[in-house]
């Protein structure tokens, strides 16, 4: 069965600084990968996803992620963060042929002025 590990539970960053949120997965088959953002008391919003093709995926709000199959990673990056990026970020994986989506533990991104 697949699993997802988000290595950092909290990441504090100053405004306009770059940020990287780390995500590693484990699976014996090919996978699809997702990053979601959750604001307080809200559902999840899709930032980006990797299904196939180019390993560098660009998403909304200036975020991007790179799929690295050899390192089984899908790290999320943004070159310059804003106060409004303060939220919880979840990495998730779905195995090809499976229905369910498995989530990592989440990373709380805090942007300091």
Partner 1 sequence: GAVVSQHPSWVICKSGTSVKIECRSLDFQATTMFWYRQFPKQSLMLMATSNEGSKATYEQGVEKDKFLINHASLTLSTLTVTSAHPEDSSFYICSARDWDRAGYGYTFGSGTRLTVV
- Considering only CA atoms, give the Rg of the chain: 13
Query: In 10 A of CB 45, how many CB atoms?
Result: 13
Query: For partner 1, which is the closer residue by CB, 9 or 28?
Result: 9
Binding residues for partner 1, per CB under 8 A? 32, 34, 36, 41-46, 49, 51-52, 90, 92, 94, 99-106
Shortest spacing between CB 89 and partner 1, in angstroms: 11
Q: Which helix (H) or strand (E) holds 11?
A: strand 10-14
Please say whether the beta carbons of 7 and 91 come within 8 A. Answer: no
Query: For partner 1, which is the closer residue by CB, 19 or 93?
Result: 93
Shortest spacing between CB 54 and partner 1, in angstroms: 11
Take residue 110 and report the two structure tokens written for it: 């805090």
Query: For partner 1, which is the closer residue by CB, 7 or 44?
Result: 44
């Amino acid at each position: 069965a697949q699993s997802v590990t988000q290595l950092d539970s909290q990441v504090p960053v100053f405004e306009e600084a770059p940020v990287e949120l780390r995500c590693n997965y484990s699976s014996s088959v090919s996978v699809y990968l997702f990053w979601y953002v959750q604001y307080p008391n809200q559902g999840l919003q899709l930032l980006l996803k990797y299904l196939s093709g180019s390993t560098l995926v660009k998403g909304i709000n200036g975020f991007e992620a790179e799929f690295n199959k050899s390192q089984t990673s899908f790290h999320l990056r943004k070159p310059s963060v804003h106060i409004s990026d303060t939220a919880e970020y979840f990495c998730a994986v779905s195995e090809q042929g499976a229905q369910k989506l498995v989530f990592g533990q989440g990373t709380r991104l805090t942007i300091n002025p």
